[in-house]
Structure 1
Amino acid sequence: MARNVPRSYSSECESAVKETKYIDVEQHAMAEAHLRNSTVTSVSWSSITVTVKDRATKQPKVIVDNVNGYVQAGEILAIMGPSGCGKTTLLNVLASRPTGAAKVNGGISINGRKPSTAAFRQMSRFVEQDDALIGSLTVRETLDFATRLSTTGTLPKSERAARIDGLLDAFGLQDQADTIIGTPIRKGISGGQKRRSGIASQLITSPRILFLDEPTSGLDSAASFEVINYLKGVAKRNNLIVIASIHQPSTSTYNLFDKLMLLSAGREHYFGPIRAVGPYYESVGRPMPLHINPAEYLLEQVNVDFALDKDQAQSRLESMQITWASSPMAEHLSNMIKNCEAQHALHGTAADMVAMEKKPGFVSLVTTLLHRSFIKSYRDVIAYGVRMAMYFGLAIMMGTVWVRLKTEQDYIQPYINAIFFGGAFMSFMAVAYVPAFIEDRNLYVKEFHNGLYGAAELVVSNFLTGIPYLFLIAIGFSAISYWLSNFNPTATAFFTWVMWVFLDLLAAEGLVVFVSSLFPNFVIALALVAFANGLWMCVNGFMVEPTVLNVFYKYVFSYWDYQKYVFEGMMVNEFSGRVYSCGNGCQCMYQTSLADHCQIAGEGVLAQYGYRAGYLGKNVGIMIGIIAGYRIAAWLVLMWRR
């Protein structure tokens, strides 16, 4: 055996290869049947290189350089290195997650074979450093919905509940089980407890591979130890493979890991068992001092950021990397990865067989997301509570400013102003939904990459969740403002007004969902939604009458401006069939067939705008098309930018 290579390290794949060589046909069939349920025996990667374009020089820059590694079932690997060394980038590559504009060479293999994307997402889970959780759900509900969206959602309810209780106990969260995660308005659990909840919500879905980005971030040393210790126990008991990036663990936490990968400037400086770190560094003339945190010592060896002599430190780092690359351990690592690919003869179909597990169907996923969204919407006042207060406040203001308008010609323009104000500002105030949807989108990105559901389920459930709330807003707003302002006092006219307000709100929320999907940044999305609403106000027919609106804005923007159809529908609803007196002196502002009677037919007002009755069905159909169009556009964007 090669020098400096521990026996346990070198024999990992040798035993697996021997088993493969001597297995007979009957055993092979039995093994494949077992693989259909659970088996993932190894994860390996070779020559992983990630290149990006440097923003300053515009030249290619390598941020992960020719990295190799291997982890067996039941093991937990720590990827360690100074800040900016490429830990998170490598973790994203290994987890088959997007790496921005990076070019990636090399790949990851499961049981010696590259898995399909769908299969890999189903067998693996990723816990981000800033994990996206719904703040208005309790810890127990967070775990419950995680199980219902995954393959474990097909388990009996009692078994799911038992799993949840077990994880809550294991992560020290039983006392916080019925406490919400926390929102900007309502305080919830602590940062450390939130971190543990995020990890637990992924573990409960029974993954075979778990990736964690800084799992101990925000935790004290005791909590860090407990989290990693629990992960180690789960890995051993369930043949789980855990790969975690970690910054500077305590000695006790560091010793829990089975293997260590040490990175610096994107290059590998060590890969192997934790227990072999000391002997390796001693063999290369850098013995590890006694009574020192090993993680701290290793980071000092590969960190040049704070060196006084940068050139000397960089030269030393280069020498250390060359020493590792030419070491017997590095050579044996390469051989081990190649040998492990021999498992493909036995386990080659495992990666694809995992995808055969029964998953919740489309309807089940939409129903679960609906349930979760309804809980969020009535607990999180930002989602709909604040908006309802805003809309009802707007209704009172509108009803009292335009209070008891009379059916006289002097009030015709105030009627028109009120119609514009009601429709346009109901739409404009939908910007308040931006932060709530961005939270949903961030959660979707995480859960999509964890193979739980897709963009279609999110868009459909989000749309269905909003319908009852927006209808209540439409009814409440109309009940206050419509009768106070003395619009057309018939039941048919009132419910037609409610319909237009409801369609207006659906379209406005669709615009928010589309823009926030395209630009998931609060400030940018807010600005663009506000700008779009300002544009719609300018071309909806009130500011400039459709009969004189210039050709560019008329054909480029006006015809797909949902506010245009709302304004037209409300105008027709108010003025069609209604009569207004011309007042003293009988000087009528609009000349209609009723001028001899010193009256104005409402159709005369509509004629000024080019409106007339009879197009209700057509305009409603166009509105439905616009509403559907925004949702389809959001779906396409989510499919593209995920």
Structure 2
Amino acid sequence: MSTTKISEDVEKGSAGSDYAHLTNDTVQSFSWEDVTVTVKDRTSKQPLDILSGVNGMVEAGEMLALMGPSGSGKTTLLNALAHRAATPSATFQPTLRINGAPTTLASFRKLSSYVEQEDALVGSLTVRETLYFAAQLALPSSISKADRKARIESLLSSFGLQDQAETLIGTPIRKGVSGGQKRRVSVASQLITSPKILFLDEPTSGLDSSASYEVIRFVRDIAKQYKVLVIASIHQPSTTTFELFDKLMLLSHGKVAYSGKITEVKDYFAALGYNMPLYHNPAEFVIDLVNTDFSRDKSSSSERLAHLHTSWAQSPAAARLSTTLRNLSTTKQPSLSIDTASHATANPLQIPLTLIHRSFIKSYRDIVAYGIRIAMYMGLAIMMGTVWLRLSPTQINIQAFTNAIFFGGAFMSFMAVAYIPAYLEDLAIYTKERANGLYGPTAFMVANFIIGIPYLFLITILFSVISYWLGNFWPTAQGFWTWTLWLFLDLIAAESLVVLLSSLIPIFVVALAATAFANGLWMCVNGFMVQPETLNVFWRYVFHYIDYQAYVFRGMMVNEFGNRDYECERVEGGGCHCMFESRLQDQCLIEGKAVLGSYGYGTGDVGKYVGYLLVIVVVYRGLGWLVLFLRKH
């Protein structure tokens, strides 16, 4: 869609139709005083200010641009103002006020939305579906389906996304919309809730100058018509885009070099002796003025920056701002009234169902999530079935049956590492949506667990149908289904381990290494390599009894050897040589229970094994929930 069409949609009013239900007097002003963020310097171990004494205010209908060179503190300030963690391990005590009065995090989230710099979107959803699920998670049930649809269509039109409405966002395997279109989808999905305070972290990232202008113009029109406060960090916009903002806060090294109206920027710096050349982009001019990173004369650039910081701190404009902030905190302002019908969150019972619905669509479209895993497990089943092909129930094959049981259980769980990329994508989306106050770790964990069950069961059935009958394990329906259920529990536990470790360390390579190491440990102590009775005391009591693979191995061993007899080796002269003593030895048979006895396993403990496995799954999921609950985003 052309940018002209976008402009026409905005001018016709379609861009703001989804804001029509809001009153215009909810938020009169948003202000902050003496915002200072301090961390410990890694080299000197001394306190280091990332932001130092930053004051500011935005009034209803205004747009503020946060600008500065890389490392100036733009994103840190944006996060601080949005009630988010400014930076890890930072000391930060904000003084943030709406209408001159402090507000709680819960109230603030009902009034605001935050668009991340990185586009955390579900790649296997279409553009329209992305906005639909944003509406389902963020809007209260009191808003009708017709109104939700109208909002979605309005945003698609306004952001020039109508032609891409049915296009996938895109995955590593399936091509989707462009990077710039993803950016527009991210902004549009946050506007679905009609926020009164909108935070944008690099909203024009990935857009060309024309598309950047139209996106910012749309947001500007929303801000003006419906008195929305917009604060955006932005990096060197074009002149026309820059002039769409009302105010500029220019940062460098965590301090303010200018804070005021866009129209006064040129005259302010000219009065300090820094004249902007004719026909020069003012945004580029002010960034170059405070950027010392690439200066050849470090001494001169440092002096210039110190001069700019001091000049602003001592300027009449800074003094007027301080006076205004003091008056705001002491003068009675219009009370902050939140229309609960407009700003209520979605029904808590609906959220898990919505997440399950979204995950279901992702799971069958995203070949990475389960498609590749199914193919991988099918290949593993064929390999296993043809290596241990049609084993006869003789004593010479007892070790082969045992090896196959170990291989089937251990490598099924080991290959669960293939779930890590899909889970990390889900985790990134959860992180963004939790930070926006949409839902917490409970709904996320419940949906993640439920959506995985049918796919894991399908994987188990397909694997077992091939490997069980090719290997000639105990050839009964009971044996097959018992084997299948053990592997199903094995996969549930393995995926729960993936969820725990990936939540704890949400970095692909590290999560992959940690999961592989954990599964290697479980293989070593599960009772196959070294029988439990002879296992080193430390490994036995510290790890063996919490090893889910150990209980799967026990259960599958009982399934095979608890109900089957094996022929002994016949020797010359008509005698028999049996590797295991059993009550059937005189029949030249080995009772399978004798094999279990050599491992210290009994046939009456299967129920306990299932119980222990379920407890381990619950513990893994519970610890994963705790990690997400304690992590502040």
Match of 1:202 in 2: 190
**Paired amino acid for 2:580:** Y
CA distance in 1, matches of 2:72, 2:112: 24
* Pairing 1:94–2:81 present: yes
Q: 1:70 aligns with which of 40, 54, 57?
A: 57
Long gaps (5+) in structure 2: 1-20
Q: TM-score, normalised by structure 1?
A: 0.92
Within a 5 Å distance, the mapping from 1:182-261 to structure 2 comes to 182-261=170-249
Cα deviation 1:293-330 (Å, max 9, x = unaligned): 11111112211222222112111211121111111111
**Paired amino acid for 1:157:** K
CA distance in 2, matches of 1:331, 1:313: 26
Cα displacement (A) at 1:365: 0.3
Match of 1:487 in 2: 473
CA distance in 1, matches of 2:580, 2:170: 59
Cα displacement (A) at 1:577: 2.4
Match of 1:315 in 2: 303
CA distance in 1, matches of 2:346, 2:542: 43
Q: Is the 8 A contact 1:504 1:566 kept in 2?
A: yes
**Paired amino acid for 1:156:** S
Match of 1:155 in 2: 143
**Paired amino acid for 1:453:** Y
Match of 2:127 in 1: 139
Larger mean CA deviation between 286-295 and 594-603 belongs to 286-295
Q: 1:619 aligns with which of 603, 609, 616?
A: 609
SS at 2:563's partner residue?
Answer: coil
CA distance in 2, matches of 1:35, 1:256: 23
SS at 2:506's partner residue?
Answer: coil
Q: Is the 8 A contact 1:539 1:557 kept in 2?
A: yes
Q: 1:59 aligns with which of 39, 43, 46?
A: 46
* Pairing 1:593–2:591 present: no
Q: Is the 8 A contact 2:101 2:329 kept in 1?
A: yes
CA distance in 1, matches of 2:502, 2:97: 36
Q: 1:430 aligns with which of 388, 408, 416?
A: 416
CA distance in 1, matches of 2:398, 2:37: 67
Aligned residues: 607
Match of 1:120 in 2: 108
Does the C-alpha gap of structure 1 residues 35 and 484 become closer, same or farther in structure 2, counting only changes over 3 Å? closer
SS at 1:362's partner residue?
Answer: coil
* Pairing 1:528–2:514 present: yes
* Pairing 1:640–2:608 present: no
Q: Is the 8 A contact 1:370 1:461 kept in 2?
A: yes
Q: 1:447 aligns with which of 428, 433, 439?
A: 433
Match of 1:281 in 2: 269
* Pairing 1:291–2:271 present: no
**Paired amino acid for 1:43:** F
Q: 2:369 aligns with which of 383, 391, 405?
A: 383
Cα displacement (A) at 1:36: 9.7
Q: 2:72 aligns with which of 85, 89, 109?
A: 85
SS at 1:547's partner residue?
Answer: helix
Does the C-alpha gap of structure 1 residues 39 and 420 become closer, same or farther in structure 2, counting only changes over 3 Å? same
CA distance in 2, matches of 1:355, 1:313: 53
Q: TM-score, normalised by structure 2?
A: 0.93
Q: Is the 8 A contact 2:63 2:230 kept in 1?
A: yes
CA distance in 1, matches of 2:210, 2:330: 41
Larger mean CA deviation between 247-256 and 264-273 belongs to 264-273
CA distance in 2, matches of 1:156, 1:35: 16
SS at 1:65's partner residue?
Answer: strand
**Paired amino acid for 2:598:** Q
Cα displacement (A) at 1:119: 1.8
**Paired amino acid for 1:537:** M
Cα deviation 1:17-52 (Å, max 9, x = unaligned): xxxxxxxxxxxxxxxxx9999712211001001111
Does the C-alpha gap of structure 1 residues 37 and 322 become closer, same or farther in structure 2, counting only changes over 3 Å? closer
**Paired amino acid for 1:590:** F
SS at 2:292's partner residue?
Answer: coil
Q: Is the 8 A contact 1:592 1:601 kept in 2?
A: yes
**Paired amino acid for 1:394:** L
Instruction: Give me the identity figure in percent.
Output: 58
Cα deviation 1:381-402 (Å, max 9, x = unaligned): 1111111111111111111111
CA distance in 2, matches of 1:329, 1:358: 39
Q: 1:469 aligns with which of 449, 452, 455?
A: 455
Q: Is the 8 A contact 1:154 1:360 kept in 2?
A: no
Cα displacement (A) at 1:126: 1.3
Match of 1:8 in 2: none
Long gaps (5+) in structure 1: 1-33
Q: 1:582 aligns with which of 555, 568, 572?
A: 568
SS at 2:122's partner residue?
Answer: coil
Does the C-alpha gap of structure 1 residues 256 and 529 become closer, same or farther in structure 2, counting only changes over 3 Å? same
Cα displacement (A) at 1:631: 0.6
* Pairing 1:364–2:354 present: no
**Paired amino acid for 2:219:** L
* Pairing 1:517–2:507 present: no
CA distance in 2, matches of 1:57, 1:426: 49
Cα displacement (A) at 1:152: 4.7
CA distance in 1, matches of 2:23, 2:103: 14
CA distance in 1, matches of 2:348, 2:268: 52
Q: Is the 8 A contact 2:141 2:347 kept in 1?
A: no
Cα displacement (A) at 1:616: 1.7
Cα displacement (A) at 1:236: 1.4
Match of 2:482 in 1: 496
